[in-house]
Amino acid sequence: NAGVTQTPKFRVLKTGQSMTLLCAQDMNHEYMYWYRQDPGMGLRLIHYSVGEGTTAKGEVPDGYNVSRLKKQNFLLGLESAAPSQTSVYFCASSSTGHINQPQHFGDGTRLSIL
């Protein structure tokens, strides 16, 4: 039972490079989310999706783009990486947006921008 799988687990980029983080879930969930977590801090919502083909901005969307072409996948793109985007990125999914439906998280992608 895989749950939420994030690829890659680690990555080092140079300033200005681009990359895409992949999130895949096998629970048939409608909602998917991307968060970032800086050292010693809580999670901040970047973007989320309420269903296939939809995306919406979260708390800190600048510098990121997302796509949800397939229900099971949610992609996070960095167009031109900056050192301020060094962080741990978590993907999550839930069956609905109702607060009593818990979010299921992946184990994170650790991204360093030099």
Which residue in 44, 61, 72, 73 binds other proteins (CB under 8 A)?
Answer: 44
84 contacts other proteins (rule: CB under 8 A): no
5: left (phi over 0), alpha (psi -120 to 50) or beta: beta
Rounded Cα gap, residues 37 and 110, in angstroms = 10
Judged by CB, which is closer to other proteins: 79, or 107? 107
For residue 51, what is the DSSP state? Answer: S
Among 31, 46, 77, 84, binds other proteins (CB under 8 A): 31
The residue written with tokens 């650790």 in the block is: 110
61 interacts with other proteins by CB under 8 A = no
Among 17, 22, 58, 72, binds other proteins (CB under 8 A): 58
